[in-house]
Structure 1
Amino acid sequence: MPISQGLTIGAVADRTGLAVSAIRFYETHGLVAPLKNASGHRRYDRSDIRKLSFVMIAQELGVSLSDLGVLMQTLPERRAPSRADWTRMSAKFRKDLDARITKAQRLRDTLDGCIGCGCLSLKKCELYNPQDRARSSGTGPRHLIEPKI
């Protein structure tokens, strides 16, 4: 793609719904890397729309910018990622995403019951965490947190 034909930051903002300042913020974290034309204006590839859209979704799921940076580094810099590139990257992301889904489901399914936090304020706590036995596994909501190894 000739630099002069790339998308402006405004066009990318219009398409993604992100503020221009957010796109620049993501750029400083290495999540997108636009080219600059002779006048110093940023020019984005159309594939940057997909990259930024992925970042938006992942952040809504609580993925940190540093984790996103590691994932995004697996994608090619100066060409649009192919389906195979996205598949490779998603394989790395899948394990973390599956763990997040499992935790979210566990929270959804047990929040109205004992979560092993030690409050013992629900009648169910007496059954699931008598005398706060969950505390022996560590602090916090022990029935929802995986044991740390």
Structure 2
Amino acid sequence: MATTAARPNQGLTIGDLAERTGLAVSAIRFYETYGIVKPVRNAGGHRRYGRADIRRLSFALVAQRLGFSLTEIAGHLAPFPDHKALTSADWAGISEGFRARIDARIGELERLRDKLDGCIGCGCLSLERCALLNPDDRAAEKGAGPRYVIDAD
């Protein structure tokens, strides 16, 4: 049971925040190392979080599921004050920054899905003919061996 109501002016404990977000206490401390949340310390040296940190952590969880790194997520949150709730306009700005990357990823996944359907359908998995792994045998132009692994581009 959260004890948040007993301390409205002292902030949330790390346990309260864990309960509200579904994260383990250790995970919250990990997010702190990236600057996604920045607790203040009370007179006893204990971490205290603001209610806005619930939303910051929830945002980080969703953004991670979309493939964004914690460094990227922290970078998007960095311009905003640490202990203040972001406005709707702030969140819209962050969303706009993510939108192009998400749209590009959706396009990549759709192309992969479409090519993979054809590859599974024919079953050849030929490195000379496969449009997915090596369209038009382009890897031969880069030399012998596993060029896609060696060159990584």
Flag whether TM exceeds 0.5 (same fold): yes
The residue type paired with residue 43 of structure 2 is: A
Aligned to 1:71: 76
Aligned to 1:83: 88
Gaps of 5+ in 1: 115-119, 141-147
Structure 2 residue 18 is the aligned partner of structure 1 residue 13: yes
| Aligned with residue 95 of structure 1, among 100, 107, 120 | 100
Aligned to 1:23: 28
- The alpha-carbon deviation at position 134 of structure 1 amounts to 6.2
- The alpha-carbon deviation at position 127 of structure 1 amounts to 7.3
Aligned to 1:113: 118
The residue type paired with residue 35 of structure 1 is: V
Aligned to 1:126: 129
The residue type paired with residue 12 of structure 2 is: L
SS at match of 2:118: coil
The residue type paired with residue 125 of structure 2 is: L
Instruction: Give the structure-2-normalised TM-score.
Output: 0.72
Superposed CA RMSD in Å reads 3.1
Are the equivalent residues in 2 in contact too, given 1:31–1:69 (CA < 8 A)?
yes
Aligned to 2:4: none
Alignment of 1:51-62 (within 5 A): 51-62=56-67
Counterparts of 1:40 and 1:70, CA distance in 2: 27
Q: Deviations over 1:39-68 (max 9, x none)?
A: 111111111111111111111222112111
Aligned to 2:48: 43
- The alpha-carbon deviation at position 86 of structure 1 amounts to 0.8
* Higher alpha-carbon Rg: 2
Are the equivalent residues in 2 in contact too, given 1:9–1:20 (CA < 8 A)?
yes
Instruction: Give the structure-1-normalised TM-score.
Output: 0.74
Change in Cα spacing, 1:79 to 1:112, as seen in structure 2 (3 Å) is: same
State the identity %.
53
The residue type paired with residue 8 of structure 1 is: T
Q: Give the number of aligned pairs.
A: 136
Runs of 4+ in 1 over 3 A off after TM superposition: 120-123, 125-131, 133-137
Counterparts of 1:127 and 1:81, CA distance in 2: 48
Are the equivalent residues in 1 in contact too, given 2:32–2:38 (CA < 8 A)?
yes
Counterparts of 2:34 and 2:72, CA distance in 1: 11
